[in-house]
Amino acid sequence: MTSLDSLDGMDIQRLVDALAPLLRDPEAEGDFAYGMADLPAAGTDVMVNVDPELEDRDDVEVDVLVDRVAAFLALTPEQWEEVASRTVAEIEAAVGDQPVAEPTSLRDDLALTSSVVFVDAVLLSFVAPLQLPDAVVRVQLDQDLHFEDLEVEIEGVESVSFDDLDDLLDHLSEEPGPSAP
């Protein structure tokens, strides 16, 4: 692939055109591009959003973003299995023995709905309508497309993130604020 010029907000169409071989009917909206694509490793079609992060980066190479999308779509079944297994294990460890909405395998219930490809990461969004009916599971893959982080967003509940276990424990051990009368 030949190197394309760097991307700026006025030329998002160049990114859309470069993604055409990978995404079905790619389009631009604001500062990002998107389109459906086949993700063979997961056995599904997925919405792929491509965010060049123009507000945070001065020079984003179109060919770098296209290569990132191609690498994501070319995940092997073994790589996908690693991501899916780690996602399920993290959620099951957090839930423990708490009751679930529907007694079914989380692995069978978990469905990929969309992805966002950045220059240095990929963010996956999953739903598990039977096990976690009001939640969206977000999994971040690192630059090498390995599992990096997981967050479960539950509708109507504000999520709180911590950098590490020590920060979480510090937060939990803080004295509560003033109580209401």
Q: What is the pLDDT of residue 3?
A: 37
CB 105 within 8 A of CB 88: no
Global pTM exceeds 0.85: no
Closest CA to 91 of 100, 80, 78: 100
Residue 9: what residue type? G
Identify the segments of the chain with pLDDT beneath 70.
Answer: 1-10, 99-103, 156-181
Name every residue whose Cβ is closer than 8 Å to that of residue 119 and which is 6 or more positions away in sequence: 52, 53, 57, 60, 64, 65, 68
Q: What is the pLDDT of residue 85?
A: 94
